[in-house]
Amino acid sequence: MKVAITGIGIVAPPGVCKEEFWQNIKAGKSFISPITRFDASTYPSQVAGQVENLNTNPIPRRLLKKIDKFSVMALIATDQALKDASLDLAKENPYSIGIFTGNALGGWLYAETELRDLYVEGRDGVSPYLASAWFPAAPQGQISIYYGIKGYSKTVVADRASALMAIGYAAQVIGNKKIDIAFAGGTEAPVTPYALLCCSTEGSISRGPYRPFDKERNGFVIGEGAGILVLEDIEHALKRGVNIYGLITGYGTFCNGIDRIMPDPNGKGLAKALKAALDMAGYKPQDIDYICADGVGTKLGDISETRAIKEVFEKKIPVSAPKSMFGYLLGAAGAVDVIIALLAMQNSIIPPTINYQTKDPECDLDYVPNKSRPKEIKRALIISRGRGGINAVLTIERG
Amino acid sequence: MGNIEERVKKLLVKLFDMKPEEVNSEANLNDDLGMDSTEMVELVVALEKEFKIQIEDGEITNKHCVSDVVKIVENKLKQ
């Protein structure tokens, strides 16, 4: 498989354009901050990666009140990606363009505000916009309406692996010649009272720093944002003469079939997904120069991910979890990680895993601790995993 | 009754961020003002509250124009 990536759109705590985002990522800064938009003082975790002061001017006010923040961020990221890819939609067949968005939770701020009004304030109905605002396919619908895109599309809901699976799915639909162009990625807005409470209650959320692969880890910190890529049939991209950031070359996914929340301790499902992605790309393990890890920051998550990587890769390859800087963007995370890997390839710099202090004997890979590292990257691999035993792996190479 | 028309128009401008000049009496709610079915629900609820009237399902639709809506409201107020 060879599908071109020709545009990048990013809305995330480290930046709302790729330049600002990359400057902050390569500097290894932390963008986790105390939650101030609601009273989180009674919550076990009171911090998150937050997108503050988002400029929503490009979106008409009449539309803004009908949609949740997760759709707003997806629309802004799509607009960036479209411009970055120099796409003139008027010249394209709308039936040859698709949208593939990943999302885990839906638009909970909209939903829980309405529910509170209904049950606490005693209002006798909900907003007519609620039904179309909160559901996970809302961003796909809004992007489709906003740009008049009408081709083969799909929303992928697969917990934290949603965005990476959406990108892998989109690449395959392009590979099968059903469409020429896809807007693919994910969006998530989980910094809301009910969403944070649910994540906290489940027990995977960190109370302190988010420190993947560190012995003192205690879970992940949530973050909000959206990442959208323009994927394009390679012939179509070459004909347009547009800049190609990289190529999607392989994709693999397997389930564990073991537990509702916990991964397989031995990482067997992930190892199979790693091998499947490498096979599809036609790579040997030693061809990979950088692995952008899931790095969920739970004991079993980190150890099983390390075991899976060690089962497949004999050589020590740099593995980092840049999301330690800005939080786990749940259903948007895979898209942001692909963007990071593309910018890492373009700039020959591996972004670090931050907050790393104490070595865990069971996690003994090269996690690129705390400081970014210069390295030429020709091929990279991205891992996303989710509850329910979901494992997804994507490989990319320089364009 | 003239002020009812003004109140309906003001409501449309406020609720849907429309330009006052586009909300004229002949403007069709769907064709000219782009109102969809969910916006119609919001409009009906707002009209009921503004004029303290009851509007049945389907009584006002986005096939109507602004003057139709004004007439329906006026008739309800006469009853």
Indicate yes or no: CB of A128 within 8 angstroms of CB of B16.
Answer: no
Chain B residues in contact with A60 by the CB 8 A cut-off are 17
Predicted local confidence at residue A260, as pLDDT: 87
Closest CA to A271 of A225, A237, A230, A312: A312
Contact between A239 and A6 under an 8 Å Cβ cutoff? The reply is no
Instruction: Give whole-number Cα distances, B73 to A135, A212, B5, B58, in Å.
Output: 35, 62, 9, 14
Does A9 fall in a domain? yes
Contact between A134 and A365 under an 8 Å Cβ cutoff? The reply is no
Q: Is the dihedral of CA A161, A167, A170, A171 positive or negative?
A: negative
Predicted local confidence at residue B30, as pLDDT: 96
Nearest-by-Cβ selection for A128 from B17, B18, B41: B41
Tens-digit pLDDT profile for residues A64-116 = 999 999 999 999 999 999 999 999 999 999 999 999 999 999 999 999 999 99
Rounded CA separation A84/A335 (Å)? 16
Asked whether residue A129 falls in the same domain as residue A221, the answer is yes
Instruction: Give the three-state DSSP class for A205.
Output: strand
For chain A, say whether B36 makes contact (Cβ under 8 Å): no
Predicted local confidence at residue A39, as pLDDT: 94
- What count of other Cβ atoms lies within 10 Å of the Cβ of residue B56? 7
Predicted local confidence at residue A225, as pLDDT: 98
Give B16 to chain A, closest Cα distance, Å.
5
Contact between A15 and A73 under an 8 Å Cβ cutoff? The reply is no
Instruction: Give whole-number Cα distances, A50 to A21, A35, A106, A193, A224, in Å.
Output: 13, 8, 17, 14, 6
Give A134 to chain B, closest Cα distance, Å.
14
CATH of the domain at B7: 1.10.1200.10
pLDDT level of residue A399 (50, 70, 90 thresholds)? confident
Mutation site for B-interface testing, chosen from A56, A61, A62 by largest number of B Cβ within 10 Å:
A62
Predicted local confidence at residue A208, as pLDDT: 78
Nearest-by-Cβ selection for B38 from A60, A125, A129: A129
Instruction: Give whole-number Cα distances, A168 to A172, A224, A236, in Å.
Output: 6, 22, 19
- What count of other Cβ atoms lies within 10 Å of the Cβ of residue B64? 18
Instruction: Give the three-state DSSP class for A258.
Output: coil
Residue of A260 and A169 predicted with greater confidence:
A169
- Taking 70 as the threshold, does the pLDDT of residue B27 lie above it? yes
Indicate yes or no: CB of B17 within 8 angstroms of CB of A62.
Answer: yes
pLDDT level of residue A200 (50, 70, 90 thresholds)? confident
Asked whether residue A271 falls in the same domain as residue A171, the answer is no
Chain A residues in contact with B39 by the CB 8 A cut-off are 128
Asked whether residue A204 falls in the same domain as residue A83, the answer is yes
The domain boundary, picked from A240, A269, A302, lies at A240
For chain A, say whether B41 makes contact (Cβ under 8 Å): yes
Asked whether residue A219 falls in the same domain as residue A261, the answer is no
Predicted local confidence at residue B2, as pLDDT: 58
Does A246 fall in a domain? no
Closest CA to A1 of A342, A252, A243: A252
Chain B residues in contact with A125 by the CB 8 A cut-off are 45
Using only the alpha carbons of chain A, give its radius of gyration: 20
Q: What predicted TM-score, i.e. pTM, was given to this entire model? A: 0.95
Q: Which amino acid type is present at position A290?
A: Y
Chain B residues in contact with A61 by the CB 8 A cut-off are 17
Using CA coordinates, name the residue in chain B closest to A63: B16
Asked whether residue A213 falls in the same domain as residue A263, the answer is no
Instruction: Give the three-state DSSP class for A116.
Output: helix
Give A146 to chain B, closest Cα distance, Å.
14
A225-233 and A181-188: which strand pairing? antiparallel
Average pLDDT of A186-199?
92
Asked whether residue A167 falls in the same domain as residue A85, the answer is yes
- Residue A369, sorted as left (phi over 0), alpha (psi -120 to 50) or beta, turns out to be beta
Longest dimension (CA), chain A: 63
Q: What are phi and psi of A118, to 5 degrees?
A: -70, -50
For chain A, say whether B22 makes contact (Cβ under 8 Å): no
Predicted local confidence at residue B79, as pLDDT: 83
Contact between A396 and A382 under an 8 Å Cβ cutoff? The reply is yes
Mutation site for A-interface testing, chosen from B12, B14, B17 by largest number of A Cβ within 10 Å:
B17
Chain A residues in contact with B17 by the CB 8 A cut-off are 60-62
Predicted local confidence at residue A30, as pLDDT: 97
Asked whether residue A236 falls in the same domain as residue A329, the answer is no
Indicate yes or no: CB of A61 within 8 angstroms of CB of B17.
Answer: yes
Predicted local confidence at residue A201, as pLDDT: 81
Predicted local confidence at residue A202, as pLDDT: 78
Look up the domain containing B53 and give its range.
2-78
Predicted local confidence at residue A124, as pLDDT: 85
Contact between A92 and A79 under an 8 Å Cβ cutoff? The reply is no
Contact between A169 and A150 under an 8 Å Cβ cutoff? The reply is no
Rounded CA separation A89/A109 (Å)? 32
Number of domains in chain A: 2
- Give the pair of three-digit tokens for residue B59: 């009584």
Tens-digit pLDDT profile for residues B32-53 = 999 999 999 999 999 999 999 9
Using CA coordinates, name the residue in chain A closest to B38: A128
Number of domains in chain B: 1
Instruction: Give the three-state DSSP class for B52.
Output: coil
Using only the alpha carbons of chain B, give its radius of gyration: 11
Average pLDDT of A141-169?
98
Mutation site for A-interface testing, chosen from B15, B35, B38, B57 by largest number of A Cβ within 10 Å:
B38
CATH of the domain at A168: 3.40.47.10
Supply the ipTM of this predicted assembly: 0.84
Burial of residue A340 (CB within 10 Å: 0-12, 13-18, 19+) is: buried
Task: Cite the DSSP H helix spans in A203-265.
Answer: 234-240
- Taking 60 as the threshold, does the pLDDT of residue B1 lie above it? no
Tens-digit pLDDT profile for residues B57-76 = 999 999 999 999 999 999 99
Look up the domain containing A224 and give its range.
3-240
Asked whether residue A319 falls in the same domain as residue A221, the answer is no
Average pLDDT of A300-320?
95
Q: What are phi and psi of A398, to 5 degrees?
A: -65, 140
Mean of the per-residue pLDDT values for chain A?
A: 96
- Taking 60 as the threshold, does the pLDDT of residue A193 lie above it? yes
Asked whether residue A236 falls in the same domain as residue A315, the answer is no
Does A245 fall in a domain? no
- Give the pair of three-digit tokens for residue B45: 């609820």
Asked whether residue A94 falls in the same domain as residue A164, the answer is yes
A319-320 and A3-11: which strand pairing? unpaired
- Taking 60 as the threshold, does the pLDDT of residue A217 lie above it? yes
For chain A, say whether B54 makes contact (Cβ under 8 Å): no
- Give the pair of three-digit tokens for residue A338: 């692909």
Asked whether residue A236 falls in the same domain as residue A269, the answer is no
Nearest-by-Cβ selection for B38 from A60, A61, A128: A128
Catalytic residues of B: 36
Instruction: Give the three-state DSSP class for A368.
Output: coil
pLDDT level of residue B11 (50, 70, 90 thresholds)? very high
- Taking 90 as the threshold, does the pLDDT of residue A58 lie above it? no
